[in-house]
Amino acid sequence: MKEKSTSFDIAYRAGVSQSTVSRALRNSPLVNAATRSKIQAIAKELNYKVDKNASNLRSQQSDTIALLLFEDPTNDDSAINPFFLSMLGSITRACASKGYDLLVSFQQASEDWHADFEDSNKADGLILLGYGDYVDYEEKLVKLLDQGTHFVRWGAEVKHLPIISVGCDNFTGGKEITEHIIKLGRKSFAFLGSASSHAPEFFERYKGHCQALKAHQLTVNPALQFNAMYTEESGYQAACRLINSGESFDAICAACDLIAVGAMRALQEHGFKIPEQVSVVGFDDIAIASFTFPPLTTVKQDTKLAGELLVNTLLSLIHGEEASTTLIPPELVMRKSCAS
């Protein structure tokens, strides 16, 4: 196995200095076209690749961005939420199209992630992805800000801090999907998902939900709100609690698709007909949603657009350009889990 060649080897063969080689390989106009192509030919022949470590060290940039995925530590060996998986896919694609490498990393919210990737020069910037619980998360965001780290968050806007976010308009989504069912004639709405600021996106969806109810002179019954995490199992259990509560209801708004899927399972086990007796809706539009029985009516978050926005925004930040928080409009996806 041959030694890996360096720019000096090429310089030697081309009969020029190493610095000329470096310039030629980066298509610098400072080097004569003839020598440039000669050098490039030799480089190709030797199968030469610039050493990224050396290059990054000198130029102080890595052309790499890091994606930090936050997951609830409690369910760490279960599958990753398909919604985030889908985001991951689109972010990967978006990065590639911009010529950036993507470093993917899982983090537990509790860890010392805040000062790792950009500080060690492994990445030029960070994308933070996950359902954010703000308990001590926010304090770390502030630290990132202090350090001048470039980063973009996925999620609800943080009003009181100069943090750039890209997120879905959860409030509007929650409102519109609820209005949709209201128009179908349902009266008693249960909401499955957290109604507290610990889960900001769920909370926004809940607020939109309530807003829609009020706008149509329907009462918001707190006894019909049940907490649930973003898992199928959690949705199943919340629905069981709902059913056992004895409250009557004819519609369920789930804070995310996985919850909705779990809820449908619980309902069907208890003999409820969907959508005849109960209309069910979710949020996210994960792949599973179109294959459930009945197919789930939900709110689509455009992950492709989101991924592109996330990396474009981050890149702007890195390049010192202006950037601002963006909300992606939600989109209703009507399927069969609702009826009048």
Partner DNA sequence: ACGATTTACTTTATCGTTTTCATCGAAAAA
Partner DNA sequence: TTTTTCGATGAAAACGATAAAGTAAATCGT
Shortest Cβ 187–its own copies spacing (Å): 28
Q: Does 147 bind its own copies (CB under 8 A)?
A: yes
Our finding on whether 32 is near DNA (CB under 7 A) is yes
Contacts of residue 161, Cβ cutoff 8 Å, sequence gap at least 6: 138, 141, 142, 145
Task: Indicate which single residue of 72, 304, 316, 339 sits in contact with its own copies (rule: CB under 8 A).
Answer: 304
26 binds DNA (CB under 7 A): yes
Tokens representing residue 317 in the block: 């930040």
- DSSP code for 153: E
Q: 41, 57, 96, 104: which one contacts DNA (CB under 7 A)? A: 57
Q: 13, 40, 55, 93: which one contacts DNA (CB under 7 A)?
A: 55
310 within 8 A of 127, measured Cβ to Cβ? yes
- Residues whose CB is less than 8 angstroms from the CB of residue 337 and which lie 6 or more positions away in sequence, other chains included: 260, 264, 274, 275, 279, 280, 281, 292, 294, 295, 296, 297
Contact between 15 and DNA per CB under 7 A? yes
**Partner from DNA, its own copies, none binding residue 32, C-beta < 5-8 Å depending on class:** DNA
41 forms part of the interface with DNA (CB under 7 A): no
Query: What's the min distance (Å) between Cβ of 8 and DNA?
Result: 6
**Nearest 10 degrees: Cα torsion 17, 22, 28, 34:** 50
Taking CB under 8 A as the criterion, the residue among 261, 263, 310, 314 binding its own copies is 261
- Contact between 205 and 283 under an 8 Å Cβ cutoff? The reply is yes
Query: Is 7 an interacting residue with respect to DNA (CB under 7 A)?
Result: yes
**DSSP labels for 299-325?**
EE--HHHHHHHHHHHHHHHHTT-----
Residue 104 CB, nearest approach to its own copies (Å): 5
Q: Is 165 in the site for DNA (CB under 7 A)?
A: no
Burial of 185 (0-12, 13-18, 19+ CB in 10 A): exposed
Contact residues toward its own copies (CB under 8 A) are 1, 4, 47, 49-54, 56-57, 62, 64, 69, 76-77, 79-80, 82, 85-86, 88-89, 92-93, 96, 101-106, 115-116, 119-122, 146-148, 261, 287-288, 291-293, 304
